[in-house]
Structure 1
Amino acid sequence: MKKSTLINSELSYLVATLGHTDEITICDAGLPISDHVQRIDLALTHGVPSFLETVRVMLSETCIEGVIMAEEFAQVSPEHHQALLVELELEQAKTDKKIHIQYITHEQFKQRSEQSRAIVRTGECTPYANVIFQSGVVF
């Protein structure tokens, strides 16, 4: 059995095969996902797993150099948005690597997510709780 935090086989494979600048989306239960993008559906019920729990696990296993969020996230769900920023700050402190943050409209976010290697669907029901992680390098 795998010893580290991430034990989901699909997510483990995804992380192991990411290259520099590859993107993965972590989303709430409502984000539309195109048929041509790999869907990794973790949602069990409303709120399970949460967006932030999923973000924490993915950050524990993945080197991230940038994130993309919808502008609406900060406006409509400020507490969740702030909690995500805290997680990103903790990751920067732990790795001593800057994480670039970019904001785009929700419509642009939905279009951009279609370029992701995979979209990870959580059970989160907080509006706009979505993020695109851009893979970095560990060296």
Structure 2
Amino acid sequence: MKKTPLLHGELSHLVATLGHGDLVVIADAGLPVPPGTRCIDLALTRGVPSFEQVLDAVLSEMQVERADYAAEMLTHSPHFETVLHRRLGDAALHSIAHDALKQRSGTARAIVRTGECSSYANVILYAGVVF
């Protein structure tokens, strides 16, 4: 049995196989998944698991170099911007237009779909290195 918090096998495998600069999207339940992009669907019911729960689990194992989030988050779901700043720090965060986030998500290694039903609760995580 693993000692780290992340127990989901497919998600743990994804993190273990990331290379420097690879993208992982933590998404709300409504973010479209572009054709051909891997989706790890964790959504069970509305709000389960939450954006924060999934983000925390992924961050327990993933080295993040930087992250992008939709600028629209600031007006529609400001709580999540605070969450991102608290977990990732100010220097690593960049806001981009939601349409750009959706387009960029098509280049991700995977989109991790949560049960989150709050508007614009999405983040693109760029894999860093631990050395």
TM exceeding 0.5? yes
Give, as a single letter, the amino acid of the residue that structure 1 aligns with 2:50.
S
Query: Counterpart of 1:27?
Result: 27
Moved over 4 A (4+): none
1:99 Cα deviation from its structure 2 partner = 5.1
Give per-residue Cα distances to partners, 1:52-74, cap 9 Å, x unaligned.
11111111100000000110011
Change (3 A) 1:75 1:53: same
* 2:2 pairs with 1:8: no
Displacement of 1:43: 0.3
AA partner of residue 105 (structure 2): S
Q: Is the contact made by 1:24 and 1:132 (CA closer than 8 Å) also made in structure 2?
A: yes
Structure 2 counterpart of 1:43: 43
The answer as to whether partners of 2:34 and 2:106 remain within 8 angstroms in 1 is: yes
Tell me if the contact between 2:77 and 2:120 (Cα under 8 Å) persists in the aligned partners: yes
The 5 A counterparts of 1:26-105 are: 26-89=26-89, 100-105=92-97
Structure holding more helix per residue: 1
Paired residue for 1:137?
129
Two-structure CA RMSD over aligned residues (Å): 1.2
Instruction: Say whether the 8 Å CA contact 2:38–2:109 is kept in structure 1.
Output: yes
TM-score (structure 2 length as normaliser): 0.96
Unaligned 5+ runs, structure 1: 90-97
TM-score between the two structures when normalised by the length of structure 1: 0.90
Conservation of the 8 A alpha-carbon contact between 2:6 and 2:58: yes
* Map of 2:106 onto structure 1: 114
Equivalent-residue separation in structure 1 for 2:74 and 2:58 (angstroms): 21
Give aligned pairs, total.
Answer: 131
**Alpha carbons 1:64, 1:99 under 8 Å: kept:** no
